[in-house]
């Protein structure tokens, strides 16, 4: 009898690296490529790109980069939910997200809008902080709810409130963040439905559901723990570098 084939799995750290790579490709497209495409923000200009205009190659490069970048946010949300469930201190976890949300806002606004402060959009750490607060609210409500109907009703109201807050605060990805994290948390013990409903929520982005094929391979372990703060530091740093490069090449 042949040897049984070993199933390929990924650790939390490996998932995080995949998400970071995906995010970087997405931001290269947004910060460096799209500004080079004349009339990119004009929806009626798409016909020129599709029929082979002079900058059509930039358009298709941007499509590839942005589609590759759609994998990042679902993975970050999944890892956030896992981190919430396994962290030693939820307060310190929330404080880290809040601090880096503040630190990252200037680089984010510079990369996105070329200005020191843009109230029309907040960086991903702000979105993740709000999502963490939602899970804390759901956990507390779950502890107080003796019956499923009451818990379900409260969970729907809480999720709706945080989705509205994300939209009002102009968080990156808007209501999708709290909605996705709510599903990931509520179905934490039902991996099949967690993956199915999660993929359905992010299907508004063509390639985003593919992230759940990678999440399905998660083995439940963190992987190597060294470089804990690298991922926090990398986000504002790479945005700052991209914004500087963008100014140099314009």
Report yes or no on 3 lying in a domain: no
Please state the domain count of the chain. Answer: 1
In whole angstroms, give the CA distance from residue 185 to residue 134: 10
Report yes or no on 36 lying in a domain: yes
Q: How far from the centroid of its chain's Cα atoms is residue 51's Cα?
A: 33
In whole angstroms, give the CA distance from residue 37 to residue 77: 31
Alpha helix ranges (H) inside the chain = 12-28, 46-50, 56-69, 72-86, 90-113, 124-144, 148-168, 176-186, 191-201, 211-215, 230-249
Q: What pLDDT does residue 117 have?
A: 86
What is the b/e burial string over 97-106, where b = at least 16 CB atoms within 10 angstroms of the residue's CB?
A: bbebbebbbb
In whole angstroms, give the CA distance from residue 125 to residue 142: 25
Report yes or no on 1 lying in a domain: no
CA proximity to 139, closest of 201, 94, 75, 206: 94
Show the domain range for 86.
12-249
pLDDT in tens, 104-154: 999 999 999 888 888 899 999 999 999 999 999 999 999 988 788 888 999
Q: Would the pLDDT of 223 be above 70?
A: yes
What letter would DSSP give residue 214? H
The band of 225, judged by pLDDT with boundaries at 50, 70 and 90, is confident
Report yes or no on 26 lying in a domain: yes
The band of 227, judged by pLDDT with boundaries at 50, 70 and 90, is confident
Report yes or no on 150 lying in a domain: yes
Question: Are 226 and 93 spatial neighbours (Cβ–Cβ below 8 Å)?
Answer: no
Report yes or no on 233 lying in a domain: yes
In whole angstroms, give the CA distance from residue 62 to residue 218: 29
Side-chain-side CA neighbours of residue 51 (13 Å): 5
Question: Would the CA dihedral through 48, 49, 53, 55 be positive or negative?
Answer: positive
The band of 222, judged by pLDDT with boundaries at 50, 70 and 90, is confident
Report yes or no on 5 lying in a domain: no
Q: Would the pLDDT of 220 be above 70?
A: yes
The mean pLDDT value of the chain amounts to 90
Give the C-alpha distances (Å, rounded to integers) separating 195 from 68, 188, 213, 217.
Answer: 19, 10, 8, 11
Q: What pLDDT does residue 48 have?
A: 54
Q: What pLDDT does residue 238 have?
A: 98
Report yes or no on 25 lying in a domain: yes
pLDDT in tens, 54-79: 678 888 999 999 999 999 999 999 99
Task: Tell me the pTM.
Answer: 0.91
């Amino acid at each position: 009898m042949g040897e049984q084939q070993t199933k390929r799995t990924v650790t939390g750290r490996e998932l995080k690296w995949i998400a970071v790579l995906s995010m970087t490709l997405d931001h290269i497209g947004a910060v460096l490529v799209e500004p080079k495409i004349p009339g990119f923000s004009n929806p009626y200009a798409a016909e020129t790109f599709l029929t082979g205009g002079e900058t059509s190659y930039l358009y298709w490069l941007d499509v590839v980069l942005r589609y590759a970048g759609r994998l990042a946010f679902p993975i970050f949300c999944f890892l956030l939910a896992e981190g919430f469930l396994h962290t030693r201190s939820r307060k310190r976890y929330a404080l880290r997200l809040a601090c880096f949300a503040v630190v990252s806002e200037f680089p984010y606004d510079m990369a996105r809008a070329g200005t020191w402060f843009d109230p029309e959009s907040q960086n991903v750490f702000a979105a993740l902080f709000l999502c963490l607060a939602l899970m804390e609210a759901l956990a507390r409500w779950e502890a107080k709810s003796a019956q499923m109907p009451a818990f379900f009703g409260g969970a729907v109201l809480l999720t709706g409130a945080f989705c509205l807050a994300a939209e009002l605060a102009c968080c990156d990805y808007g209501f999708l963040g709290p909605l996705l994290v709510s599903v990931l948390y509520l179905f934490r013990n039902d991996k099949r439905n967690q993956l199915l409903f999660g993929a359905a929520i992010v299907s508004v982005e063509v390639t985003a559901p593919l992230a759940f094929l990678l999440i399905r391979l998660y083995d439940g372990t963190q992987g190597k723990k060294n470089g804990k703060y690298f991922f926090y530091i990398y986000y504002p740093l790479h945005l700052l570098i991209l914004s500087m490069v963008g100014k140099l090449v314009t």
